[in-house]
Amino acid sequence: MFDSKDAEGSGYRFMEREPVMILDDIFSEKPDWKPKVELAYCSKLYGDILGLPSSSPFRVGKAIKLRATNPKQRMFIVRHLILRGVTRIGVGMEHVYFDTDNYLHKDALYVQ
Protein backbone atom coordinates (compact mmCIF):
# COMPACT_ATOMS: atom_id res chain seq x y z
CA MET A 1 0.00 0.00 0.00
CA PHE A 2 2.94 2.37 0.68
CA ASP A 3 5.28 1.10 -2.07
CA SER A 4 6.73 3.21 -4.83
CA LYS A 5 5.00 2.14 -8.06
CA ASP A 6 8.29 0.93 -9.52
CA ALA A 7 9.70 -0.96 -6.51
CA GLU A 8 7.71 -3.65 -4.73
CA GLY A 9 8.45 -3.77 -1.00
CA SER A 10 9.95 -0.27 -0.96
CA GLY A 11 7.25 1.08 1.36
CA TYR A 12 8.11 -1.53 3.97
CA ARG A 13 11.81 -0.75 3.69
CA PHE A 14 11.77 3.05 3.36
CA MET A 15 8.50 4.44 4.71
CA GLU A 16 8.92 6.27 8.03
CA ARG A 17 6.96 4.91 11.00
CA GLU A 18 5.30 8.13 12.12
CA PRO A 19 2.90 8.78 9.19
CA VAL A 20 1.99 5.08 8.99
CA MET A 21 1.25 4.92 12.72
CA ILE A 22 -0.88 8.09 12.50
CA LEU A 23 -2.87 6.62 9.62
CA ASP A 24 -3.34 3.29 11.43
CA ASP A 25 -4.48 5.11 14.56
CA ILE A 26 -7.03 7.23 12.67
CA PHE A 27 -8.56 4.35 10.76
CA SER A 28 -8.69 2.11 13.83
CA GLU A 29 -11.55 4.36 14.98
CA LYS A 30 -13.52 3.56 11.81
CA PRO A 31 -12.76 -0.09 11.00
CA ASP A 32 -15.35 -0.13 8.20
CA TRP A 33 -13.39 2.60 6.34
CA LYS A 34 -10.26 1.42 4.57
CA PRO A 35 -7.65 4.03 3.61
CA LYS A 36 -7.01 4.29 -0.12
CA VAL A 37 -3.35 5.32 -0.34
CA GLU A 38 -2.64 6.91 -3.71
CA LEU A 39 0.93 7.99 -3.07
CA ALA A 40 3.39 7.36 -0.27
CA TYR A 41 7.09 6.51 -0.58
CA CYS A 42 8.54 7.40 -4.01
CA SER A 43 11.87 6.11 -5.28
CA LYS A 44 14.19 8.50 -7.09
CA LEU A 45 13.13 7.11 -10.48
CA TYR A 46 9.39 7.32 -9.79
CA GLY A 47 9.74 10.72 -8.10
CA ASP A 48 11.54 12.01 -11.19
CA ILE A 49 8.74 10.65 -13.40
CA LEU A 50 6.17 12.49 -11.24
CA GLY A 51 8.28 15.65 -11.26
CA LEU A 52 8.64 15.77 -7.49
CA PRO A 53 11.31 18.12 -6.15
CA SER A 54 14.30 16.45 -4.50
CA SER A 55 13.15 17.83 -1.11
CA SER A 56 9.68 16.24 -1.38
CA PRO A 57 8.55 14.37 1.75
CA PHE A 58 7.37 11.55 -0.54
CA ARG A 59 10.99 10.80 -1.45
CA VAL A 60 11.92 10.10 2.18
CA GLY A 61 8.72 8.28 3.17
CA LYS A 62 7.22 11.02 5.33
CA ALA A 63 4.13 11.88 3.23
CA ILE A 64 0.88 10.12 2.39
CA LYS A 65 -1.79 11.11 -0.14
CA LEU A 66 -5.18 9.46 0.41
CA ARG A 67 -8.12 9.23 -1.94
CA ALA A 68 -11.17 10.59 -0.11
CA THR A 69 -14.11 11.61 -2.30
CA ASN A 70 -16.69 11.63 0.50
CA PRO A 71 -16.82 15.03 2.31
CA LYS A 72 -17.57 13.39 5.66
CA GLN A 73 -14.60 11.08 5.29
CA ARG A 74 -12.32 14.02 4.35
CA MET A 75 -13.49 15.95 7.40
CA PHE A 76 -12.99 12.91 9.64
CA ILE A 77 -9.43 12.44 8.36
CA VAL A 78 -8.49 16.13 8.67
CA ARG A 79 -10.00 16.43 12.16
CA HIS A 80 -8.09 13.41 13.40
CA LEU A 81 -4.83 14.48 11.75
CA ILE A 82 -5.05 17.78 13.64
CA LEU A 83 -5.88 15.99 16.90
CA ARG A 84 -2.73 13.89 16.45
CA GLY A 85 -0.54 16.95 15.97
CA VAL A 86 -0.10 16.90 12.20
CA THR A 87 0.57 20.46 11.04
CA ARG A 88 1.07 19.98 7.29
CA ILE A 89 -2.19 18.99 5.60
CA GLY A 90 -3.51 19.35 2.06
CA VAL A 91 -7.18 18.97 1.12
CA GLY A 92 -8.73 18.69 -2.32
CA MET A 93 -12.09 17.54 -3.67
CA GLU A 94 -10.83 13.95 -3.95
CA HIS A 95 -7.70 13.80 -1.78
CA VAL A 96 -6.25 14.39 1.65
CA TYR A 97 -2.48 14.81 1.92
CA PHE A 98 -0.36 14.98 5.04
CA ASP A 99 3.28 14.76 5.91
CA THR A 100 5.42 14.71 9.02
CA ASP A 101 8.47 16.40 7.50
CA ASN A 102 9.00 19.26 9.93
CA TYR A 103 12.66 19.72 9.07
CA LEU A 104 12.52 21.53 5.72
CA HIS A 105 8.88 22.57 5.57
CA LYS A 106 6.77 24.94 7.64
CA ASP A 107 3.32 24.26 9.07
CA ALA A 108 0.59 24.80 6.50
CA LEU A 109 -2.88 23.93 5.31
CA TYR A 110 -3.06 23.54 1.53
CA VAL A 111 -6.38 23.70 -0.33
CA GLN A 112 -6.71 22.64 -3.97
0.85 cut: is pTM over it? yes
pLDDT at residue number 102? 82
State pLDDT tens for residues 27-63: 999 989 889 999 999 999 999 999 999 999 999 999 9
Please, what is the average pLDDT of the chain? 94
Strand order in the sheet with 95-99: 37-39, 63-67, 95-99, 88-91, 108-111
Chain-centre distance of CA 15, in angstroms? 11
Of 63, 76, 75, the residue nearest 26 (C-alpha): 76
| CATH number listed for the domain at residues 10-111 | 3.30.1380.10
The full set of domain ranges for the chain reads 10-111
Q: Please determine, for residue 18, whether its predicted confidence score (pLDDT) is greater than 80.
A: yes
pLDDT at residue number 62? 96
